[in-house]
Structure 1
Amino acid sequence: MLARALSQLQRRSPLTLRALGQQAGVSASFVSRVLSGERLPSWHITRVIATACGGDPADLQPLWNEARGLRPAEPAALGAALRGLLLADANPSAHQLSSRLDHTLSTHEICTILEGAYIPEWETLWRLVSALHGRPETIRPLWAAAIRSQLHSAAAGASCLPAGAFG
């Protein structure tokens, strides 16, 4: 997925492989192998390519971690991972994704999930990740961390009420 996302960024940018290689301090041939998935770049090279092509490296971090076999559990990583999958899938519209899901999710629901404004139940997110041609098993730990964070925030908010609020 990382290679697909980087490749999409490069195709949308005016930069040649040679120009990207010069910015990253590697050969155009190496950049080509990274974009085709033959080579796994360092985080530095990933960040340079993403930035040079106008992308947000934060959206690629979860894909890079997955490629390296790392499993981050930061709640914010869920949104970044979904945006990375969206990029790797050539940025389909919410309408296209809704169609892929046989309209079981509305375009509004898809947008709120991708924006990070709503964390759906696992089955719903599984379907969305699958529609983006992602691997749900790599997203589940991020979903679980986001749910835990959401529950923790809700519990913390509830415990901040003054004693007088209970009568």
Structure 2
Amino acid sequence: MLARALSNLHRFSGQSARAIALRAELSPSYVYRLTAGERPPSWKAVRNYVLACDGEPNDLVDLWNAADGQEQLLPDGAGFDEVLARFQGAVRGLHLAEARPNPEAFVHALPDVAKHEISIMKSLLSTSPVRRSGTLSWTATKALTVALHGDSDRIRQHWNALRAAAPRSRLLTQAFG
């Protein structure tokens, strides 16, 4: 999935591989290997590539960790906003790997999604940070993950971390779940 996301990011950037390589301080052949998925690249290479494509590196962290066989670890004491940003990045990475299908049509076609969850999902897939209100059930989260051909176990880890990081007194109004 990482290679597909990087390839789509390249295509969306409208730049040549050579231009991206120059901006990312990578060789053009390495840029081709990144998008072909020949082997897991270093995080530094992925980050530089994403920035050269004017993308958001946080959207590729989970895909990079998965390609490298690592768990998604958050720093001890990570706050709700950081956990929420990681969750959104993981979902947006899957969306990028699927060539960013139109969020409006995409989320309306998902099964088992309550009306109030549709706007939350569209917000998750947007380029702006997710607002801190609303709830997203695991059923809806899993439907979104499966539709994006993602690993529901990995996304469930993010979803559980988000629930755990939510302020207890405001769990239902600020967390997804």
TM-score by structure 2 length? 0.76
Contact 2:94 2:148 in 1 (8 A): yes
More displaced stretch, 81-90 vs 112-121: 112-121
2:121 paired residue number? 110
1:41 paired residue number? 41
**Which amino acid is 1:154 matched to?**
R
**Which amino acid is 1:5 matched to?**
A
Deviations 1:37-59 (A, max 9, x none): 12322111111111111101111
1:141 paired residue number? 157
Q: Distance in 1 between matches of 2:72 and 2:2?
A: 16
2:139 paired residue number? 123
Mark the structure with the bigger radius of gyration: 1
Extract unaligned runs of 5+ from structure 2: 75-82, 172-177
1:7-156 matched pairs, under 5 angstroms: 7-74=7-74, 75-76=83-84, 77-102=86-111, 104-106=113-115, 107-114=118-125, 116-117=130-131, 118-150=134-166, 153-155=167-169
Contact 1:100 1:131 in 2 (8 A): no
1:113 positional shift: 4.4
Q: Over the residues paired in the alignment, what is the CA RMSD in angstroms?
A: 2.3
Identity of aligned residues (%): 35
Contact 1:113 1:119 in 2 (8 A): no
**Which amino acid is 2:163 matched to?**
I
Contact 2:59 2:90 in 1 (8 A): yes
Q: Distance in 1 between matches of 2:114 and 2:18?
A: 42
Count the aligned residue pairs: 155
1:164 paired residue number? none
More displaced stretch, 101-110 vs 12-21: 101-110
Q: Distance in 2 between matches of 1:45 and 1:25?
A: 9
Deviations 1:49-88 (A, max 9, x none): 1111110111111211121122224423111101111111
**Which amino acid is 2:26 matched to?**
V
TM-score by structure 1 length? 0.80
Instruction: Say if 1:24 and 1:109 are closer, same or farther in 2 by CA, change over 3 A.
Output: closer
Q: Distance in 2 between matches of 1:143 and 1:15?
A: 35
Extract unaligned runs of 5+ from structure 1: 158-167
Contact 1:119 1:146 in 2 (8 A): no
